[in-house]
Structure 1
Amino acid sequence: MESGVGSNLNERHGVFKDESWFSQFRNGSNPWMARYVYALIFLVSNLLAWAVRDYGHNAFPEMEKLKNCHGGRGCLGAGGVLRVSLGCFAFYFVMFVSTAGTPRLYNCRDSWHSGWWSAKIGLWIALTVTSFLLPSFMIQIYGEIAHFGAGVFLLVQLVSVISFITWLNDCCQLDKNAERCHIHVMLLATAAYVICIVGIIMMYIWYAPEPSCLLNISFITWTLVLLQLMTSVSLHPKVNAGFLTPGLMGLYVVFICWCAIRSEPAGENCNRKAEASNKTDWLTIISFVVALLAMVIATFSTGIDSQCFQFRKKETPAEDALPYGYGFFHFVFATGAMYFAMLLIGWNTHHTIKKWTIDVGWTSTWVRIVNEWLAICVYHALMMINRLNYDQKDC
């Protein structure tokens, strides 16, 4: 019986490989293609949340007729963002529950993940519409829970980024790659450190122009100290991680610090770059679009990186093994739905945010700074785990 089932699956797989991409999409036979559809649904939810926040009062006047909207205020602005986020979260949470633990390709849960698009798009629309019919107190409760969910997303993203950095360093340190990668590693590490130093200098010039800017000075100086600390620990004889990992991690830390200071509200004397955000121009719009796309890409790339949480020795995958963890993929998108809500409302459910802005406010600034400090802690923890298991891992 098992051999018969296996031969049927192989025949089905062979047929699907010969089909066109549209046929694979329609028949639900290509999980790699499915992930792009899920990312597109996530992007549309982001755009819908932004439209409700910035243009909802003009574009959705019918919201005022809903009894749970309190004259439109409860379904527009920050409340509207949370309602769209709730619908998106509910969709991906349903997908997480229904696909977690999928053992292999070509079974019913694999088909559900990779196909049934009409049913799933209908489910997503229904959940999004239902979220606008819920009373406001439930949306406020979800907003408080979303703070925690967004924090989980940031932590998962941290682990994914740091795991990639340590994996890249381990590959370059293997005996078979050591000589070939030596020059490339030195050039990449040198470029990373130069960019870090230049970035820190520019942040001092742009965001700490006066000695009275003590908060920004402390943020930037502490980032420089963390960069030196990472380098010292990585070069310790018991760790011996080289220059590449602290250099790349330094880029990430400097970027987080820059994002944190950029999140300070416009009009602050120590944030000269914030003066440009007092009016909406093409640069503000481009910055918003780039930030929105970066958030979607980060969610997408983190979702397919379930192996970063597998610390045991890797085994040769079977022929019908999943290309990525379906449950983990949908879990990341579910927490990502909470994360984009926090960015669009500045991590404050009662915060009024300007059009074409994202992740602005003092709460956003401190979330970024804490994320930077947490990144260093997670980096050192994962680096120690990686060094302990180095001999058991393959590149």
Structure 2
Amino acid sequence: MASLLHNRRFILYNSKNSFVNIGYNLYQITIPFFSFIYFHSIVFTGIILFVEYGIYTLTFLSGPIVDKVEDRRYIMFLSEIVIGISALILALLIHIGRLNEYIFIAIVAFMAIGHDIMWTADWTVIPIIVDKEDLPRANGYSNAIGNASSTVGFVLGGFLIIVFNAFFSMVLYSLCLFAGSFLTLVMPIALTKGERKMRDGLISGWRYVFKGNSNLLILSIIISIFSFFSLLPVLGITYIFASSSSLYYSLMFSLFYVGAMFSGIAIGKYFPLRFVGKAMFGSLAVMGILLVAAVVLSSLIILDTLFWFLIGFFSSSYYTIYRIYLKIVTPKEIIGRTASNLYTFRGIATALGSVFFPILFLAYGIHSVFIISGILITIFSIVFPIIIPSIMQLSATTTVQNA
């Protein structure tokens, strides 16, 4: 930990990310609430999330661009500025009452394109600025710091929803992005010439995905199946609480990410180098059980808050472990392409889930949907390791020792 505290670029990176995460989570808590309340439809909320996450599936197009840029700060700076300006435009349209469904979808789509580039570049940063043996700690702590700042964003967003309206959230979102972009500019993020050995381009990135690490590819495809359920908590919280109580909506949304914050701290300190597969699928099994409990006992509000906290913890755990594992086993010069290419599978599944679940809520009721989904997640988390034993034995120990 001491080496990380003396790493100026690591400190700047987490400071920058704190602003970006606060801003993005102001956006994240506001958009489902605003779309549901303003347009009176959980299906429209699902469409908005479908557009957003559907565009995220195109991150593989940004991978070659990011990996080709020697100093990643410039491409990150540009994307952050574009998103900040878009948020200001959205805030203005909300304020003057000139926002309709089509303009709303278009702005969300444009910001999603900016996020594609920004997040692809972000995948590459930590492996560049820290030593390989520090990757598990650096990723875990950065994830914890990110989730802590996300919690601040959710608390602020919840306060603004309760007291004011979406206009103030979007203005603050844009200011956070502008602040983050300034810190990005003073943080060099460049590969040395000796680290650039692999060919640039879209095809070379996909070649590594399919031929360079079969275990990572298999794991990513399996994770994409679970990603189909990844927006279920967000949609559930919106559907249950947004129209009945903005206070409970804000509280549950925030607690969900407080749980994720504690997950990042725990994994940063105790990353399961030897038990990557076991830890991931164990987290997924527990998450499935908790999804069932959250709706079965939703009438007990105190107990329900605990369940949303724990759902946030375990739903973040498996993904944080996956992120760290990917960064450990992937050559740093091709991380942008690898991460964005593999996200294609998860992105498609997430986007489909975003429109599928609102329709199921209306057709069968949220309790039935959550119970069946939770049971399926738990079953899948047990069955997949049995069918493909190699993913249960995944370990990052050898890679770190050989760094």
Larger Rg: 1 or 2? 1
Considering Cα pairs closer than 8 Å and 6+ residues apart, tell me whether 1 or 2 has the greater RCO: 2
Q: TM-score band, normalised by the shorter chain?
A: 0.3 to 0.5
User: How does the TM-score come out when normalised to structure 2?
Assistant: 0.40
User: How does the TM-score come out when normalised to structure 1?
Assistant: 0.41
More helix as a share of residues: 2
